[in-house]
Structures are given as structure tokens and as C-alpha cells.
Structure 1
């Protein structure tokens, strides 16, 4: 996954919009379903680490431009 991009300010909006558009098309779900690109996080500890990382980004002045969430519904009863 992409953790950080360093972009010249003149290209910021173009690159940001391209990244946002790409992530909006990404399907997360059961990895056995061919429609999905990637499976969910492995367990609740991984979910907590993800949530903590997002909190830290914001606390340090960063901005989350593509926000995910905890999967719910059939097959995701565990919260992962």
C-alpha cells in the first residue's frame, strides 16, 4: 500500500485526484471473490493498528484524503 508520496506542489492536485480515483475503484472483500482486488485486514489487532496510524497522522497535522473503514455485513462479523 502507498504510505507516503512526495509531490511537487505544482502537481499536487493532479496526483491527488488520480490517487483518490484509483482508491475509490479498489474493492476490498473476500479474496476468493474475483471481483475483489484485496482481502480485508487479517484480525482485530491489524484493524486497531490501522486506526491508530490514522489517528497519529491527523494528530501530527496530516490529512486523510481517502478514508476507509471497518468492513461489516455478512462474512465480516469479526470486525476485520
Structure 2
């Protein structure tokens, strides 16, 4: 079956446990979990910040200030009429 045989994975797991020890593997697992939680928290904070900044900028903008809209005009061709 090659590398995907379950017997190979058991042997690799036993070698890893013998080399590193269970205590060190436990610490690596908990550190990895904390890293993933921190990453998720940072991603959620980044998504929330632009909404808060947009709300603040809308309330701080004076009402008499003109805004510019950047757009490109396109020619629309109307179909020929048959009268």
C-alpha cells in the first residue's frame, strides 16, 4: 500500500514518541492550539475594524463637503426602431 498503510504510520508515531517524549509532544500540541486560536481572533478583529472605521468617518464628515465619484462612462446603443 505504500506510505498510506496504517502500519507505517504506527511505526512513525512510535519513533516520534521515543525521540521527543510525550511531555514535549503535549506542549507542542497545546502551543499549536493557542496559535490557531490567536490567528482566528486576529482575523475576526481585522474584519470588525473596517466597519467601525467606516462608521466613524461617516459621522465625522461635514455635510457641506462634496464627494467625488470615480466612474467611467459607457456608450449604450439602442436598437433600431422599425416604424
Asked if TM exceeds 0.5, the reply is no
Higher relative contact order (CA 8 A, sep 6+): 1
Larger Rg, first or second structure (1 or 2): 2
TM normalised by structure 2 equals: 0.26
More helix per residue: 2
